[in-house]
Amino acid sequence: SNLDSNAKMWRLVADFMNDLGMLMDLLSPLFPSSLIIIMCLGSLSRSFTGVASGATRAALTQHFALANNAADISAKEGSQETLATMSGMGLGMLLAHVTRGHDLVVWVSFLSLTIFHMYANYKAVQSLSLSTLNYERTSILLQYFMEHGEVLTPEQVSKQEHILPFWSSWRKLLRVKLPHELVHLGAKASMLAHSDM
C-alpha cells in the first residue's frame, strides 16, 4: 500500500469515507427494508476511515516533527482533536435541538457542512509541502529538471501535485507515461537493450 507515500490523498479519502458513513446513517431510516445493510456499509466506511487516518497521521506527524519531536507533535495533535471533537459535539447537539422535526433543514445542514468539511480538508492537505518523494512528486521534479535544468523546492512541487485520487486513475486510463515511470531502479545493465527502457 502507499498510505505513507500518498498521505495527502489518503487523508482526503479517509475524510470522504467518514462523511459517506454519516450519510448512510442518515439515509438508513428512509429505507427500512435495507436498514441493516445500509448501517453495516456505513460502519465499514467509518472503519476504513480509522485505518486510513491512523496510517496517514503517522506520516504527517513525521512531516511536522522537524526537531525529532514526533511525540510532542502527536500529543498536541491529540489535544487539538479532542477540543475540536468536544466543540463539534456541543454544536451538533445544539443544531440537532434547533432542527428537530425539520427534515429539510437537517439535510441542508448536513450537506452544506459536509461540503464545507471536504473543502476545508482539501485546502489543508493542499497547503502541506512534504519534503519526501513519492511517484508523483518525483515525476514533477524530473519533468521540471529535464525541461529547465533546475530543482524545484518542496513548496513549488506541492503547488503542482495532484491530491485527488481520481487523477491517478485518469492518467492510467489515458496511458500517460510520467518521467518517473521510465526509470527502472535496480535494473540489470543487460536490460538496456530492451525497447521498453
Task: Show Cβ contacts of residue 129 under 8 Å, excluding neighbours closer than 6 positions.
Answer: 153, 154, 155, 157, 158
Tell me how far apart the alpha carbons of residues 29 and 58 are, in angstroms, rounded to a whole number. 36
Domain residue ranges of the chain, discontinuous segments joined by +: 7-102, 135-193
pLDDT at 162: 85
DSSP letter assigned to residue 127: T
pLDDT at 98: 92
Tell me how far apart the alpha carbons of residues 148 and 142 are, in angstroms, rounded to a whole number. 10
Amino acid at 92: G
Contact 14, 60 (CB under 8 A): no
Q: Which residues of the chain have pLDDT under 70?
A: 1, 166-197
Q: What does pTM read for this prediction?
A: 0.76
pLDDT at 173: 53
Residue with cell 515511470: 181
pLDDT at 174: 56
pLDDT at 172: 54
- Please give the torsion angle defined by the CA atoms of residues 52, 56, 57 and 61, in that order, rounded to the nearest 10 degrees: 170
Task: Show Cβ contacts of residue 92 under 8 Å, excluding neighbours closer than 6 positions.
Answer: none
Helices (H) and strands (E) in the chain, counts: 7, 0
pLDDT at 197: 46
DSSP letter assigned to residue 190: G
pLDDT at 12: 93
